[in-house]
């Protein structure tokens, strides 16, 4: 049976999900080994008893890039740059994001100053050559790089987005002299202006390049030895997948994989169920993540900060917009110096973990709060892997939180969840309302170990009326990979006034990007008729800086399309910011082409309708804010059939995941296996 397999390496676990032509699904989970990432995959494959020779397509998301960046374990990297601009990576944007912190430290560049070299050359903002490249200096440069033991080189010249000739020329010359050197050019990873952001992207690409190449070598070698001769794809930050040769060239586009794949899954699920507006909600051990998904695909951000804005490095890599808050199951609740109750961002992680898991945790966590309120099965936690120590959790809750605040342990636990849920709700609100989307029109798709447990409460507090809990919510990222298309987001800075005079130049850029996108896809095995291209202009009102990607309905601009795109921009702007300026001139900053090769979607087996018997829940005491402790119906997800209807308060348990319905919530089991929950409305207790 030809199989489709998705493997997601996460921080703690590696998940594998496989589906064959008949719709047979299997799943495996193994611990991730940071030093040997492929070992987790191997044990998953062994566990699932999948002969690799049966696998037609293997999709893979890995933490190899993000680990290398965060742990700063990459290649010895040098930079070759325009004369006069040796310190772009170190100067950055000169800001100090922690306003009042006298001890703030800038993030350290990935290339130290002694390995940052200048060469005479200069391109102007219009792409014209101001000073030719001093090719004579390159031989000496090659010698210096070799003597210094440099393994990777980023070639970053000013205005290379407008003209990459010098970068290419320098690369060709140096590669000929240094055949083993891993070389990246800034224009190859990003063709947008803003030198610090682009140089940073190229430097990180070079820094991780050799390591990722070794990783792919290992992985492909092992695949080959195991008899695999199908297609291997890598998950990218833009929610698409790419072939391994491309992964070797632009590994920096793989920084985010797991969370992004989950959001792709959420979008596909929403689309399949006729929900155009979806919020993907993923809650794990240390954080909760959310993305806004419109018409099946999440929003993309142009600049992503790896390790966060204040202390991180910018990447000019289109990345699915995922906002993150420090509230996961392991997030610690603690009182600060003013006796205020704070949740996260510190997390107990998996070691020592929450107090109730008995592994030595000494501070109460969100999971402990859930456990004390009866929301987690105390005798069958994590698919029976452990029994919860509620007495110890209560003692710690009492001592650390309840007593100092003058509450009892139950009220403290419910308060912790209220605050955690409210923090997550603010994050979700941030990505909906702020962008002109009314949350009441959205559907929340909940996944990750904790997502379904908190989703209905989060949804209720911001007025989202529908929550969907997919099948296998705890390994939804691996599932999302199976649904991802091959995708390239190509961007070219191309500053113009949006008027008829610019049409030719814009069309030229569109054509170039389209050709490149098609080429990349066909090289990866897609046939021409599978390829679809989407065309955008990043527009702003004259004098503005921030741009909105605005779709062009045609593949090229003409007078009609020009007028249409202008009107569409006003509309989008109005939707997002509540006002627009149809009388102001509009500028084009970037031209953007998204090239997609759709992959066949696997079909999952439907859940049959109930033919006999009826729902027969068990009961245990569970606490709800407005009800106190009540006998709450507990259902097993495996026992549910299509069409079954459940009413909150209720709990649905399945392997490693729990879904909570509050009073007023009603759930239906969809034939697809997803649980669709109609969320009860929150009552306002305020005045007016």
Partner 1 sequence: MADTAIKEPKAAEVDPITLEVVRNGLLSTVIEMTENLVRTAYSPIAAEVKDFSLCLLDANGDVIMQTPHAAPGFVADLDKTIKTGLDLYGRDGLEEGDVIVANNSELAGQHLNNVAIYTPVFVGGEIVAFAAVRSHWIDVGGAVSGSMSSKSKDIFAEGIQIPTMKVYSAGKPVAEVHRLIETNSRFPDLVLGDMRAQISACRLGERRFGEMVRKYGLDAVKSCINRISDDAETVARNAISAIPDGVYEASCHLDTDGVNLDQPVPLHVKLIIEGSEMTIDFSGMSPQVEGPCNSRAADTIARLGFKFITAPGTPVTSGAFRNLKIVCPEGTIVSADWRAPMGWWGMTINSTIDLMLRALFPALPDGVTAGHTDNIGAGAVSGVDPRNGKMYQTLVPFTGAWGATSQQDGLSAVVSLAQGDVRITPVELREAMFPIHIEQFSLRPDSGGPGRNRGGLGAIMVTKALAKCNYDSRYERTFDPPWGLAGGKPGKITETYMTHEGSDEKIDLPLTAHQFVFEKGDTEHLYGAGGGGFGNPFERPVEKVQDDVVKEYVSLEQARESYGVVLDPDTLEVNAAETEALRKKLMDSAAG
545 binds partner 1 (CB under 8 A): yes
- Element housing 231 (H / E): strand 231-235
Which DSSP letter does residue 558 get? -
- Interface residues for partner 1 in 649-688 (CB under 8 A)? 684-688
- The interface region with partner 1, picked from 14-22, 48-56, 123-131, 286-294 by CB under 8 A, is 123-131
501 binds partner 1 (CB under 8 A): no
Distance CA 521, CA 94 (A): 39
The full length of the chain comes to 688
Helix, strand, or coil (residue 521): helix
Neighbouring-strand partners of residue 466: 443, 678
Q: Which is nearer to partner 1, 546 or 629 (CB)?
A: 546
Q: Which is nearer to partner 1, 433 or 560 (CB)?
A: 433
149 binds partner 1 (CB under 8 A): no
Distance CA 387, CA 71 (A): 35
Judged by CB under 8 A, the residue of 26, 39, 76, 92 near partner 1 is: 92
DSSP 482-495: HHPPEEEEEEEEEE
Cβ(129)–Cβ(333) under 8 Å? Answer: no
106 binds partner 1 (CB under 8 A): yes
Q: Which is nearer to partner 1, 94 or 379 (CB)?
A: 94
Is-cis flag, bond preceding 628, omega within 30? no
Residue whose tokens read 């814009």: 506
Nearest Cα to Cα of residue 160 among 115, 195, 133, 132: 195
- The interface region with partner 1, picked from 282-290, 360-368, 383-391, 570-578 by CB under 8 A, is 570-578
Judged by CB under 8 A, the residue of 23, 34, 84, 671 near partner 1 is: 84
Judged by CB under 8 A, the residue of 230, 312, 326, 495 near partner 1 is: 495
422 binds partner 1 (CB under 8 A): yes
Distance CA 324, CA 172 (A): 41
Q: Which is nearer to partner 1, 143 or 598 (CB)?
A: 143
* Closest distance of CB 103 from partner 1, Å: 6
391 binds partner 1 (CB under 8 A): no
Judged by CB under 8 A, the residue of 2, 91, 554, 560 near partner 1 is: 91
Burial of 294 (0-12, 13-18, 19+ CB in 10 A): middle
- The interface region with partner 1, picked from 164-172, 207-215, 219-227, 539-547 by CB under 8 A, is 539-547
Residue whose tokens read 């709450």: 632
Cβ(621)–Cβ(630) under 8 Å? Answer: yes
Number of Cβ within 10 Å of residue 101's Cβ equals: 10
Judged by CB under 8 A, the residue of 25, 301, 341, 564 near partner 1 is: 341
405 binds partner 1 (CB under 8 A): yes
Judged by CB under 8 A, the residue of 579, 600, 613, 638 near partner 1 is: 579
Residue whose tokens read 């009826």: 614
Distance CA 245, CA 545 (A): 35
177 binds partner 1 (CB under 8 A): no
The token duo for 286 is 């240390």
> What's the CA angle centered on 201, arms 197 and 204, to 5 degrees?
135
> What's the CA angle centered on 154, arms 148 and 159, to 5 degrees?
135
- Interface residues for partner 1 in 189-208 (CB under 8 A)? 193-197
Judged by CB under 8 A, the residue of 577, 621, 628, 643 near partner 1 is: 577
157 binds partner 1 (CB under 8 A): no
* Closest distance of CB 500 from partner 1, Å: 17
Please work out the total of residues on this chain that contact partner 1, with binding judged by CB under 8 A.
Answer: 75
Residue whose tokens read 């702007």: 573
- The interface region with partner 1, picked from 45-53, 285-293, 506-514, 576-584 by CB under 8 A, is 576-584
* Closest distance of CB 485 from partner 1, Å: 29
* Closest distance of CB 429 from partner 1, Å: 8
Helix, strand, or coil (residue 381): strand
626 binds partner 1 (CB under 8 A): no
Q: How many angstroms separate the Cα of 378 from the Cα of each of 365, 549, 570, 622, 636?
A: 16, 49, 55, 12, 15
Cβ(339)–Cβ(403) under 8 Å? Answer: no
- The interface region with partner 1, picked from 268-276, 298-306, 428-436, 607-615 by CB under 8 A, is 428-436
173 binds partner 1 (CB under 8 A): no
DSSP 581-603: -TTS-EEEEEEEEEEEE--PPP-
Helix axes 451-462, 409-432, angle to 10 degrees: 70
- Interface residues for partner 1 in 47-66 (CB under 8 A)? none
418 binds partner 1 (CB under 8 A): yes
- The interface region with partner 1, picked from 291-299, 351-359, 578-586, 660-668 by CB under 8 A, is 578-586
Judged by CB under 8 A, the residue of 139, 140, 220, 434 near partner 1 is: 434
Q: Which is nearer to partner 1, 273 or 407 (CB)?
A: 407
- The interface region with partner 1, picked from 153-161, 290-298, 471-479, 653-661 by CB under 8 A, is 153-161
The token duo for 312 is 């991180």
90 binds partner 1 (CB under 8 A): yes
Judged by CB under 8 A, the residue of 1, 560, 584, 627 near partner 1 is: 584
* Closest distance of CB 405 from partner 1, Å: 5
114 binds partner 1 (CB under 8 A): yes
């Amino acid at each position: 049976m030809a199989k489709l397999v998705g493997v997601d390496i996460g921080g703690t676990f590696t998940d594998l999900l496989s589906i064959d032509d008949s719709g047979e699904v299997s799943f495996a989970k193994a611990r991730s080994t940071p030093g040997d990432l492929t070992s987790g995959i191997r044990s998953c494959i062994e566990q699932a008893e999948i002969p690799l020779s049966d696998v037609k397509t293997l999709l893979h998301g890995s933490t190899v890039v993000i680990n290398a960046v965060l742990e700063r374990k990459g290649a010895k990297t040098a930079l070759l740059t325009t004369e006069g601009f040796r310190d772009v990576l170190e100067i950055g944007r000169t800001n100090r994001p922690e306003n009042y912190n006298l001890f703030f430290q800038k993030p350290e560049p990935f290339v130290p100053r002694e390995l940052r070299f200048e060469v005479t050359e200069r391109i102007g903002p219009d792409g014209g050559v101001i000073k030719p490249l001093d090719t004579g200096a390159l031989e000496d440069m090659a010698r210096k790089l070799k003597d210094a033991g440099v393994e990777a080189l980023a070639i970053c010249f000013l205005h290379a987005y407008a003209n990459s000739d010098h970068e290419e020329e320098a690369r060709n010359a140096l590669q000929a002299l240094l055949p083993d050197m891993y070389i990246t050019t800034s224009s190859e990873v990003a063709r947008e202006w803003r030198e610090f952001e682009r140089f940073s992207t190229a430097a990180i690409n070079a820094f991780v390049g050799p390591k990722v190449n070794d990783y792919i070598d290992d992985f492909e070698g092992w695949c080959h030895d195991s008899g695999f001769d199908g297609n291997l794809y890598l998950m990218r930050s833009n929610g698409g997948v790419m072939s391994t040769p491309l992964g070797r060239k632009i590994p920096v586009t793989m920084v985010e994989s797991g969370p992004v794949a989950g959001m792709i899954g959420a979008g596909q699920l929403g689309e399949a169920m006729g929900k155009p507006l979806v919020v993907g909600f993923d809650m794990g051990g240390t954080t909760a993540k959310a993305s806004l998904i419109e018409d099946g695909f999440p929003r993309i951000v142009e600049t992503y900060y790896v390790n966060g804005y204040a202390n991180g490095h910018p990447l000019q890599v289109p990345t699915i917009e995922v906002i993150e808050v420090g509230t996961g199951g392991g997030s610690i609740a603690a009182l600060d110096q003013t006796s205020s109750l704070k949740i996260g961002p510190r997390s107990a992680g998996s070691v020592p973990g929450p107090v109730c898991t008995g592994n030595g945790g000494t501070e109460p966590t969100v999971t402990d709060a859930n456990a004390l309120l009866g929301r987690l099965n105390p005798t069958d936690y994590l698919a029976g892997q452990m029994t919860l120590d509620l007495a110890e959790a209560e003692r710690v809750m009492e001592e650390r939180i309840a007593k100092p605040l003058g509450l009892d342990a139950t009220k403290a636990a419910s308060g912790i969840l209220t605050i955690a849920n409210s923090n997550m709700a603010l994050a979700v609100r941030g990505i909906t309302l702020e962008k002109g989307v009314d949350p009441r029109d959205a559907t929340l798709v909940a996944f990750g170990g904790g997502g379904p447990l908190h989703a209905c409460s989060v949804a209720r507090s911001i007025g989202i009326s529908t929550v969907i809990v997919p099948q296998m919510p705890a390994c939804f990222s691996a599932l999302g990979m199976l649904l991802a298309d091959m995708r390239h987001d190509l961007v070219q800075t191309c500053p113009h006034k949006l008027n008829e005079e610019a049409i030719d130049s814009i069309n030229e850029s569109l054509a170039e990007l389209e050709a490149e996108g098609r080429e990349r896809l066909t090289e990866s095995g897609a046939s021409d008729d599978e390829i679809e291209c989407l065309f955008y202009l990043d527009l702003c009102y004259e004098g503005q800086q921030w741009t909105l990607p605005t779709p062009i309905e045609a593949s090229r601009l003409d007078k009609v399309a020009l007028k249409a795109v202008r009107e569409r921009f006003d509309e989008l702007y109005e939707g997002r910011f509540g006002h627009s300026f149809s009388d102001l001139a509009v500028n084009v900053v970037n031209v953007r082409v998204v090239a997609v090769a759709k992959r066949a979607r696997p079909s999952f087996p439907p859940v049959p309708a109930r033919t006999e018997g009826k729902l027969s829940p068990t009961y245990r005491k569970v606490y709800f804010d407005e009800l106190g402790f009540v006998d709450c119906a507990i259902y097993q997800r495996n026992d549910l059939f299509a069409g079954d209807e459940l009413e909150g308060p209720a709990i649905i348990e399945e392997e490693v995941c729990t879904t909570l319905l509050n009073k007023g919530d009603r759930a239906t089991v969809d034939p697809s296996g997803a649980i669709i929950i109609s969320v009860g409305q929150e009552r306002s207790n305020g005045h007016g």
